Structures are given as structure tokens and as C-alpha cells.
Amino acid sequence: MIAIIDYGAGNLRSVEKAFAYLGYETVVSSDENVLLSADKIVLPGVGAFADAMNMLRDSGLDLTVKKAVERKIPLLGICLGMQMLFESSEEGAEVPGLAVFKGKIKKFEETSGFKIPQIGWNSIKIKEGTKLFKDIPNDSYVYFVHSYYLDAEDKNVVAATCDYIHPFHAAVESGNVFACQFHPEKSGKTGLAILKNFAEM
């Protein structure tokens, strides 16, 4: 069973549909007991960092995420769900993140010839030996929608990078925690393969 955390914000249904298409049983829940009894957990997210973190904390689900990490339940953060796993964001700097990883979420600088947010397909450079990207070709294209990017403090956790205005960290993995800035559920066959890799860990 793959549990998708419902904290009042996030791309829940598209993620749920993608796993269902692959044949995996899912549950969307805000119940800690349901979430922590699942085989895998997904932390989705769209919108503003501070708003999402406040909703996560108000529901008590920030502690659930940390318990999942401690209990070594495989956890996948998607888009804003990835950003929240880090210490802070320039989007709502007064609200701390979950600090599962060290690093900061920064805003893309206004640059001639580039639109912010980055919306659309871009290729990623994949680190060898990652579980999330097993059997996925380097320079595969995935779908992004974001104005803020990850600058991870520990480069060893970076599983993939992307280049938009400048290089940035597009995915991370360490132990039982995996996360990506892009939307695998909107990234066609490549995205489905990434979700399948996670589901089969």
C-alpha cells in the first residue's frame, strides 16, 4: 500500500492516478496510523512553501513525516513536497522547513531569455547508482513547474541535476528518503518509470 499524505494542499489525485495506472494500491489520508502502516509514503505539494508548511504543522503531519523517516519507511517528496524536506525557503523565509536534509530553497533570478516559473519539459543529469532512477537513461526529459530551486548543502544526497538559468539540484535520495523537484506523475513514460522504481523498493 502506498499512502499519499493529505494535509490540505498538493497534487493528490494526479499522483494517486499515476500509481493506480501502474497497478499499485494507494490510499489518500491524513490519519497518522494509516500513513505509518503503509509500505511507502508520498509527500506531494503545489503552491507556496510557507502556506504548505503551516498546513502540515497545523495538522500535526510534520511529525508524521519525521516518524516515517525515523522508521525507515520509504518516503517520496514531489515538487513542493521535496522543498519542504529542507531547512528553509526564500519563499516564506520566516517559516522553517522539516530539515530532514540540510539546504535552502532559493528563487530563480530574473534573467533575460528565461521565464519564471520554469514550466515545461527539461532534461536531467542522473547520478550513477541511484535507486530512484534505476534503468532510466541520462538526459531523460521530465516536467517542471517551479519558481524556486534546491541548493542542497550535502552534495552526496543529490540524485539528479537540471539546468535552467543555471544548474540546480533536481532530485535527492538518502537512505529511505527520495524527492524530486519535477512532477513524475506528469512526466510521461519516464515519470511512470520513476514512480515504479519507488513503488518496488
- Residues labelled as active-site residues: 79, 183, 185
Q: What is the C-alpha to C-alpha distance for residues 10 and 12, in angstroms, rounded to an integer? A: 5
Pairing relation of β-strands 75-78 and 177-180? parallel
Residue 144: which residues within 8 A CB-CB, separation 6 or more? 118, 119, 120, 121, 122, 162, 164, 181, 182, 183
**CB-based contact 36:163 (threshold 8 Å):** no
Amino acid at 147: S
Residue 23, amino acid: G
Contact 147, 80 (CB under 8 A): no
Phi/psi class of residue 40: alpha, beta or left (left: φ > 0; alpha: ψ in -120 to 50)? beta
Helical (H) or strand (E) element with 81: helix 80-83
